[in-house]
A and B are shown apart, each in its own frame.
Chain A
Amino acid sequence: DTAVSQTPKYLVTQMGNDKSIKCEQNLGHDTMYWYKQDSKKFLKIMFSYNNKELIINETVPNRFSPKSPDKAHLNLHINSLELGDSAVYFCASSRRDSYNEQFFGPGTRLTVL
C-alpha cells in the first residue's frame, strides 16, 4: 500500500552506462517530481510533470530525461553516467492544486564507479 514507490532502491553502475529509475504513485495525484540529494544531503528539484506535461525543468544536463507514460508514473533515464551523478534521487507527487504538500518516495541511491 506504499503511496510513492521507486525502483530500484540501490543502483551501482559504471561510468558511461545508461540507467533508469522508476517511480509510481497510487495517490491519484496529477503532479510528480524528481529531486536529487547530494552527499551533503542538499535537496534540489530537477523536474516536475503535471499530468504528463513537463512543468519544471531546472538546469539539469540533457543526459537526464524524464518520461511520464501516464500521470501515475514518472521515470528518470540517465545517459552516459558520470561520477558526479552519484546521489540519492527522490520521486515525489502532489495534487495539481497543492504543490506545497508533496509526498516523497523512499529514494534510490545511485553510485557511479
Chain B
Amino acid sequence: AQSVTQLDSHVSVSEGTPVLLRCNYSSSYSPSLFWYVQHPNKGLQLLLKYTSAATLVKGINGFEAEFKKSETSFHLTKPSAHMSDAAEYFCVVSDPSGSSNTGKLIFGQGTTLQVKP
C-alpha cells in the first residue's frame, strides 16, 4: 500500500531563510508524488508534481522538490521564505487502482509552515 509520512508537523523559519519540509514515501512501485499547499481557510493548490521524469521538480512560487529513490524521500525546499508562504503543506502519493485512468491521492499528515518577520 502507498503512504507518505511528513516528518515535521510544524516548521518555523525567518523570512528570507531557506525552507525545508520533509516527506518520506512508501510505494510498491514507481510512485507519482505531489506537494499541495493550503492557505488559511482556502482550498488546496498543487505546488508541484513528480511523475517519473526529472528527479528535481520545480513548482510555483519558487518551490522545488527532489525525488530520491534510494532514500524514499521527496522533500520540499525553497531558497528564501516569504511571509506569504505561511500555510499548510501536504505531501501526497498517488494510489492507482490498477487502471491508468482511475485512482486516488493519499495525503500526508501535513506540515504547518510559520514564517517569522
Chain A residues close to B by CB (< 8 Å) = 4, 33, 40-45, 48, 50, 55-56, 90, 92, 96-97, 99-107
Please name all residues of chain B whose beta carbon is closer than 8 Å to the beta carbon of A56 when the two chains form the complex: 97, 102, 104
Chain B residues close to A by CB (< 8 Å) = 32, 34, 36, 38, 41-46, 49, 51, 88, 90, 94, 97, 100-105, 107, 109-110
Q: Are A4 and B43 in contact (CB under 8 A)?
A: yes
Please name 20 pairs of A and B residues whose Cβ atoms are closer than 8 Å in the assembled complex, sorted by A: A41-B88, A41-B109, A41-B110, A42-B109, A43-B44, A43-B90, A43-B107, A43-B110, A45-B104, A50-B102, A90-B43, A96-B101, A97-B101, A100-B51, A101-B49, A103-B46, A104-B43, A104-B45, A107-B41, A107-B42
A100 to B44, CA, bound (A): 14
A81 to B109, CA, bound (A): 26
| Nearest CB in chain B to that of A2: its residue | B43
